[in-house]
Each structure stands twice: as C-alpha cells, then as structure tokens.
Amino acid sequence: MQKTMTKRKTAGLSITRVFDVPVDLVWKAWTDPGYVKRWWGPKDFTAPFIMIDFRVGGKSLFCMRSPDGQEFWSTGIYRKIVPGKKIVTTDSFSDEKGAIVPASFYGMPGEWPKELLVTLTFEEKNGKTTFTLLHEGLPPGTMSEQAKEGWNESFDKLEKLLQDENQHREKNVLVIEPGKPASLTRIFDAPPERLFSAVTDPARIPLWWGPGNLTTTVDTMDARTGGTWRFIQRDADGNEYAFHGVYHEVSPRRIVQTLEFEGMPGHVQLEIISFEEVDGKTKMVDKSVIETPEDVEDEMMKSEMAKGWMETMDRLAELVERKWRE
C-alpha cells in the first residue's frame, strides 16, 4: 500500500490512502455492518455495536469501546450516496439510543458543533483504490490532532482487514445471493482422498470445523448414507452451540447432508460437497441450499456467514496442506 498522505484544512481534516484492493471491497468495508465492526475505532478499540440503514436519509449508530471499557457512541444521517464512488453523512456524538449529545458528554474539551460532516470518496485505478476522507467541523488544536491519529489508527486496521479479505477472495470463490444456493469454491493443495477423510473422520473434525475462536466436539458422527451427525461448539465463556444433520449421500467424490442449528430449529440447510482432482490438487465446491431464503437477505447475517465459512476453509486448508498426519 502507498504511504498515508495527511493534510489539515481550515474546514476540517482530510486523509487519503491508497489500498491495493478493488473498490468494491473498500466500499463494502464502509457499508456492511459486519465488516465495519472488524475495524472501526483506533488501535485496541473494539466496536460492539454497528447499525447502518444505508440509504439517503437513513441513519447510522456506531459504538466503539476503549481498552478500559469506556464506550463512545455516534450517529449520523446519510445525505448522499453515489454507489462505489461517494458517501456523505453527518456525524454527531450520541447516547446508546442514538440521541445526539454534546461532546462534553464524553469529556471532550473545545467547541464542537452539534453536527459534523463526513465525505468519503472512492476511486479505482489498476485494481487499487484511492480513498479520501474529509471530516469537516472539527475544532482546531488538540482535538483535531487526536481525531487525525484516531482515524489513521482505524485505517491501519481497515488496511489489514482489506488485505485479509482480498487474500480470501483469491483463494475462495464465494457466492451468497437470496434465492440461489450459497456456494464456496476453493482449490486445496492436497489430494481428494485427504479432503474426504478430513470431512468424514470424527477425529479430524475438531481440528478444522468452524471458526478458530470456538472449540468443536463431535457428539455423534456416522458418516455413511442414512447416518446422522451432531457437533457441539463452545466459546471462551462456555456457551454451547449445537448443530446436527443427516447424511443423504456419502461417496469419495460427493457428500450430501443436512445441517440445522439447534438454536434456530426449523432453519434447515442442504449441503452438497464435491471433490474434483485438478492437476494433483483438489477443487472442493461446498453448496448450501437454505430452506428459508430470508436467512441470507440480512446483510449482517450474510457477512457473518461469509466470514465464518471462509475461516473454516482456511483451517481446513491448514490441516490438509500443512499439518496432515496419516
């Protein structure tokens, strides 16, 4: 990535960065709540709540949490949207319900206007995206300098996210569209027999199944046509998430099974996994037919589904390509 260029204007703060990714990915990182949560806020801050009603006149409500647990809420109204090119939104301090509060509510000194203005522009050239933020209305002096530092630290996190997502794109071809089977295609540097074993061996399932922040236990697994399976995942706090299904077909080149999250009974997926040898490697296609299509119409859910799915494939690749033991 080209180095940051930062300059102060009397009307506010302007920051330009050039990201080595296509513009649609940078746009998504600003408009998809699931993506925004992963980078919003300065270094070591988290974003526990992000709400975006992305339309002209729609509102946003963001929360960022400092390392010591203090929360800072902000809200805005989208004034202008030019898809893939420009976003103009207001920016105000708020409480957790979105009611505008003065900057002093969070202990901010200086004279702040009730409403600031943020303009974001996006321009792609040769596969790279020039991104510019203009933050107007900031009080001069210390607060403006702190805002500049905070934005740059946030953009450092954004850059890492964009790099990771772009690498996932290069490895995975992911399609999630309402009314169509969701699918993920990936080429593994391993033979089909190894992939089949990783997917059907209960001893190997805990090594890759699901995101890395959860542990997986195999409760039951009878990987044959007509057999059943049930996996239990646990997070760091001990919360459990159980999934179960039935195998409709199990063969070395194709597995057809159902998947149902027990926390949402009745929302059943039909999963079709195929393995094809290509030049000594394996092309694996994982299709998921969701019986309730509205499940993939929610942007946050689509984002979380994509993130978890691709992380799972990364863990599977780590196992079959680098850590495999017969």
Q: Which residues contact 325 (CB under 8 A, 6 or more apart)?
A: none
Query: What is the number of other CB atoms lying within 10 angstroms of the CB of residue 325?
Result: 5
**In terms of residue numbers, what domain contains 300?**
176-322
Could you read off the pLDDT of 143-187 as tens digits, one per residue? Answer: 889 999 999 999 999 999 999 888 766 666 666 555 677 888 999
Mean pLDDT, the chain, whole residue set: 89
Residues 155 and 181 in one domain: no
pLDDT at 191: 95
Exposure of 208 by Cβ count < 10 A (0-12 exposed, 13-18 middle, 19+ buried)? buried
Angle of the 23-31 helix axis to the 142-171 helix axis, nearest 10: 120
Alpha-carbon gap, residue 8 to 14, rounded angstroms: 6
Of all residues in the chain, what percent carry a pLDDT higher than 70?
A: 87
DSSP conformational letter for 211: -
Q: What is the pLDDT of residues 257-296, one digit of tens each?
A: 999 999 988 888 899 999 999 988 999 999 988 755 455 4
Angle between helices 192-200 and 299-322 (to 10 degrees): 120
CA angle 22, 212, 170 (to 5 degrees): 25
Overall number of domains in the chain: 2
How confident is the model over 41-51, as a mean pLDDT?
96
Whichever domain contains 205, its CATH number is: 3.30.530.20
CA 36 vs. chain centroid, Å, equals 8
> What pLDDT score does 54 carry?
94
Q: Residue range 21-41: average pLDDT?
A: 92
Q: How far lies 287's CA from each of 79, 240, 284, in Å? A: 39, 26, 10
- Judged against a pLDDT cut of 50, whether residue 96 lies above it is answered with yes
For the residues 303-311, what does the mean pLDDT come to? 73
- Same domain? For 60 and 138 the reply is yes
Q: Are residues 7 and 152 in the same domain?
A: yes
Q: Are residues 295 and 210 in the same domain?
A: yes
Indicate whether 171 belongs to any domain: no
Check: CB of residue 154 under 8 Å from CB of residue 30: no
Centroid of chain to Cα 59: 21
Same domain, 149 and 7: yes
pLDDT for the residue numbered 156: 97
- Please give the Cα distance from 296 to 298 (Å, whole number): 6
Q: Check residue 10 and give its pLDDT.
A: 37
> Which residue, among 38, 39, 90, has the nearest Cα to 61 in the 3D structure?
90
3-state secondary structure 58-72: CEEEEEEECCCCCEE
> What is the pLDDT at residue 300?
46
Same-domain pairing of 128 and 258: no
Residue for token pair 């990783």: 198
Is 18 in the same domain as 61?
yes
Contacts made by residues 274-280, CB under 8 angstroms, sequence distance 24+: 275/192, 275/195, 275/196, 276/192, 277/191, 277/192, 278/187, 280/191
Strand partners, 242: 232
* Half-sphere exposure (Cβ direction) of 42: Cα atoms closer than 13 Å: 10
The answer to whether position 98 is within a domain reads: yes
Same domain, 261 and 198: yes
pLDDT at 88 over 70: yes
Q: What is the mean pLDDT of residues 4-10?
A: 45
16 by DSSP, 3-state: which? strand
**pLDDT attached to residue 9:** 41
What's the pTM value of the predicted model, to 2 decimals?
A: 0.58
